[in-house]
Amino acid sequence: MAKAKITFEDIEQTVNVPAGTRVIEVSEKIGAGIIYGCREGDCGTCMMHVTEGWNNLTEPSVLEEKVLKENMAGRHDRLACQAQILGDCTVKPT
Amino acid sequence: MRGIAVSRSIDVSAHRQAVEFADGVYWIGALDPTLRSFDIILTTANGTTYNSYLVKGSDGVAVIDTVKENFSDEFFARLESEARYEDIKVIVLNHLEPDHSGALPELMRRAPQAQLYISQRATSMLKALLHGDENLPYTTVTTGDSVSLGDRTLQFLHTPFLHWPDTQCTYLEEEGILFSGDVFGCHYCDKRLFNDLVGDFRFSFDYYYAHIMRPFKKHVMDALKLIEPLKLSQIAPTHGPILRERPRRYVTHYRELSTSSLSQGIGSDEQSMIIFYMSSYGNTARMAEAIAEGAGDVDGVRVSLYDLEGGETDPFVDLIEEADALLFGSPTINGDAVKPVWDLLSSLAVVNLKGKLGAAFGSYGWSGEAVRMIEDRMRGLKMHIPRSGMRVKLIPTAEELEACHAFGLEIAEVLVGKSGSGGVIDFADLA
Ligand SMILES: Cc1cc2nc3c(=O)[nH]c(=O)nc-3n(C[C@H](O)[C@H](O)[C@H](O)COP(=O)(O)O)c2cc1C
Ligand code: FES
Ligand SMILES: [Fe+2]
Ligand SMILES: [Fe+2]
């Protein structure tokens, strides 16, 4: 299976993951500082900032776009419970 | 009808009128003197108040926060004593918890021309609270935004997570009054309403902070950065006394409460590791000692060992809040970790554990579930579990104690950044 590396900047930890893994599945296991609530892309709690490899995450859905907008997301902010990892990227809590 | 002016003998339980406490600024809240338990997690020996406020400007009236739904009558009566619904131009909700949004739908029905001002985070909550009223018009605001009432201006401060994600504060610039929502509030019902007239509410104030604001200390500090530069003549929170005498000391007190609660000697260049354990025959205790020794070999780590059998939960909660790494040792008894461990692990809702390092260990007889269960709980508390736990069958051998020593050393190295960070780990290896 295709692999990708995701780095959590706040705890300086990189994890090798199977492509398609959601960021939240990794971040909660290693205890990175991204917090989450509903896990369904509704509450906006899990917003994170993608510092590198923005294009290596799945495109945001219409719902995610809406929640990001409602929560005043900046450029390259994503929901950790929605974004799936396709290639190497670096993220940190917003 | 005129609002009641404030005098020393004030008794707001004797009437249902607005109480003017600054020029054109009124309290229009409700008293709930018999309430004894609030939000499940709080008790109150003095009931509470739901404070709502009315501000009159040359170009319209603002209502800031409402009351719990079953206190609507009292709220509307006080409002009507001083304002007409058609003059209400602005409604502000500083957060949407039902004790302050309860009368909102009815207020919006009576004042359909009013514009509702809430924080961005509040929008999805508004929908979930007002089923059926989803088309309520609202404007979202944040720090730097303001709304004019003609000769007066309401400014908004974005103060998220105090104590809900959508929390904001509202500042009446011309009068220097901060409508702070639950911040600086307390559950204390006194018909004399003002901090210089009511009974001694210091305990209630600190208790409220400890249970409602403490988990969000970092956010409190951020909010104080916005609040401290303000000229403050009065603070008007949503519960408890209006803080009109020396309001700034409550701001200072919030800063004190949000700063480290333990004044002991762990240096700022040291990391604190706390090892808690329970042991019936001494096996888990022996593991704990070996782990502590191993961890103590790492420079910059201060290790403390605590037998849960000899302690009370509350002081441990303070210790845990200040610690950088937490280790829990429990034998497996009837397929579970022992109760004092769960008691402690279920008492931590008032502190923020996110990102602290955690590890579990314990001796067992045949199945050994305790260690995994403790790890799951720590993960649920958003802690970081860098190594999977250490289990030993019955009495630890010399080699097993060596392994415990190495385990402690490894966790301590992760803590000071000597291992684990900067490395690459595999998803499949994560417990
Ligand atoms: C003090 C307090 C803290 C809360 N914390 C959370 C929280 O962290 N996450 C969450 O999703 N909801 C939180 N809530 C919202 C409650 O879960 C929500 O109001 C729920 O509808 C209450 O259900 P009940 O009526 O059965 O008590 C909190 C509510 C209060 C009063
Ligand atoms: S956790 Fe709620 S949006 Fe991701
Ligand atoms: Fe509240
Ligand atoms: Fe409240």
pLDDT of residue B266: 62
For residue A21, the domain's CATH number is 3.10.20.30
Contact B424/A at CB under 8 A:
yes
Q: Percentage of residues in chain A with pLDDT exceeding 70?
A: 100
pLDDT of residue B421: 47
C-alpha to C-alpha distance for B257 and B209, rounded to whole angstroms:
8
C-alpha to C-alpha distance for B235 and A72, rounded to whole angstroms:
29
CATH second-level architecture of B4-258? 4-Layer Sandwich (3.60)
Contact A32/B at CB under 8 A:
yes
What mean pLDDT comes out for the span B164-168? 93
Q: State both tokens at B349.
A: 């809702």
**Count of CB contacts below 8 A, A vs B?**
71
Query: Is the Cβ–Cβ distance between A40 and A23 less than 8 Å?
Result: no
Beta strand pairing call for B60-64 and B53-57: antiparallel
3-state SS record for chain B: CCCEECCCCCCHHHCCCCEEEECCEEECCEEECCCCEECCCEECCCCEEECCEEEEECCEEEEECCCCHHHHHHHHHHHHCCCCHHHEEEEECCCCCHHHHCCHHHHHHHCCCCEEEEECCHHHHHHHHCCCCCCCCEEEECCCCEEECCCCEEEEEECCCCCCCCCEEEEECCCCEEEEECCCCCCCCCCCCECCCCCCCHHHHHHHHHHHHHHHHHHHHHHHHHHCCCCCCEEEECCCCEECCCCHHHHHHHHHHHCCCCCCCCCCCCEEEEEEECCCCCHHHHHHHHHHHHHHCCCCEEEEEEEHHHCCHHHHHHHHHHCCEEEEECCCECCECCHHHHHHHCCCCCCCCCCCEEEEEEEECCCCCHHHHHHHHHHHCCCECCCCCEEEECCCCHHHHHHHHHHHHHHHHHHCCCCCCCCEEEHHHCC
Query: Is the Cβ–Cβ distance between B187 and B204 less than 8 Å?
Result: yes
Per-residue pLDDT tens for B306-330?
Answer: 999 987 888 899 899 999 999 999 9
Q: What does pLDDT average to over chain B?
A: 92
Contact B423/A at CB under 8 A:
yes
Beta strand pairing call for B4-5 and B25-27: unpaired
Contact B143/A at CB under 8 A:
no
Q: Is 0.90 exceeded by the ipTM? A: no
What mean pLDDT comes out for the span B175-200? 97
**Ligand 2: lining residues by beta carbon, under 6 Å:** A 36-39, 41-46, 67, 79, 81
Cis preceding linkage at B219, omega within 30: no
Determine the distance in angstroms separating the CA of A26 from the nearest CA of chain B, rounded to an integer. 7
Name the residue range of residue A29's domain: 3-93
B398-415 and B283-296 helices cross at what angle (nearest 10)?
50
pLDDT of residue B8: 66
Query: What H or E segment, with its residue span, contains residue A54?
Result: none
Q: Which of B121, B424, B431 sits opposite A14 (nearest CB)?
A: B424
A73: DSSP letter: -
The amino acid at B338: V
Q: State both tokens at B423.
A: 């490395």
Query: Is the Cβ–Cβ distance between B391 and B361 less than 8 Å?
Result: yes
What would you report as the CA-atom Rg of chain B, rounded to the nearest whole angstrom? Answer: 26
Give B316 or B133, the one with higher predicted confidence: B316
What mean pLDDT comes out for the span B374-392? 89
Site to probe by mutation for ligand 2, drawn from A26, A70, A81, A94 as the one with most ligand atoms within 8 Å of Cβ, is A81
pLDDT of residue B261: 62
Nearest atom, ligand 1, residue B42 CA:
1
The partner residues of B28 in beta bridges, in order of sequence, read none
Q: Which of B120, B355, B431 sits opposite A70 (nearest CB)?
A: B120
Query: What H or E segment, with its residue span, contains residue A17?
Result: strand A13-18
Helix, strand, or coil (residue A10): helix
pLDDT bucket at B1, cuts 50 / 70 / 90: very low
If you search the block for the tokens 């602005």, which residue do you land on? B90
- Give nearest CA residue, ligand 1 atom 22: B39
Cβ contact A11–B384 (<8 Å): yes
pLDDT of residue B419: 60
Most confidently modeled of A90-94, B243-247, B414-418? Answer: B243-247
pLDDT bucket at B263, cuts 50 / 70 / 90: low
pTM: 0.81
Q: Which of A80, A75, A86, A51 is nearest to A64 (CA)?
A: A80
Contact B121/A at CB under 8 A:
yes
What residues have their beta carbon closer than 5 A to ion ligand 4? B 99, 182
Pick the CATH number of B263-430 from 3.90.1150.10, 3.40.50.360, 3.40.47.10, 1.20.120.1200: 3.40.50.360
Contact B430/A at CB under 8 A:
yes
Give B250 or B431, the one with higher predicted confidence: B250
- Domain residue spans in chain B? 4-258, 263-430
Most confidently modeled of B82-96, B254-268, B373-387? Answer: B82-96
The amino acid at A60: P
What mean pLDDT comes out for the span B17-45? 94
For chain A, what is the largest distance between any 2 Cα atoms, rounded to a whole number of angstroms? 36
The side-by-side arrangement of strands in the sheet containing B138-141 is: B4-5, B19-22, B25-27, B53-57, B60-64, B88-92, B115-119, B138-141
Tell me which chain B residues have a C-beta less than 8 angstroms from the C-beta of A14.
422-425
Distance A75 CA to ligand 4 centre (A): 34
Total structural domains within chain A: 1
Contact B376/A at CB under 8 A:
no
pLDDT of residue B105: 93
Tell me which chain A residues have a C-beta less than 8 angstroms from the C-beta of B355.
10-11, 31-33
Nearest atom, ligand 2, residue A41 CA:
3
Residue B80 CA, chain-centre distance (Å), reads: 34
pLDDT of residue A63: 85
Q: Percentage of residues in chain B with pLDDT exceeding 70?
A: 94
Cβ contact A16–B427 (<8 Å): yes
Would you say the CB of residue B39 lies under 6 angstroms from ligand 1?
A: yes
List, for chain A, all residue ranges whose pLDDT scores fall below the cut of 70: none
What mean pLDDT comes out for the span B30-51? 93
Cβ contact A26–B427 (<8 Å): yes
Q: Which of B120, B357, B431 sits opposite A71 (nearest CB)?
A: B120
pLDDT of residue B5: 55
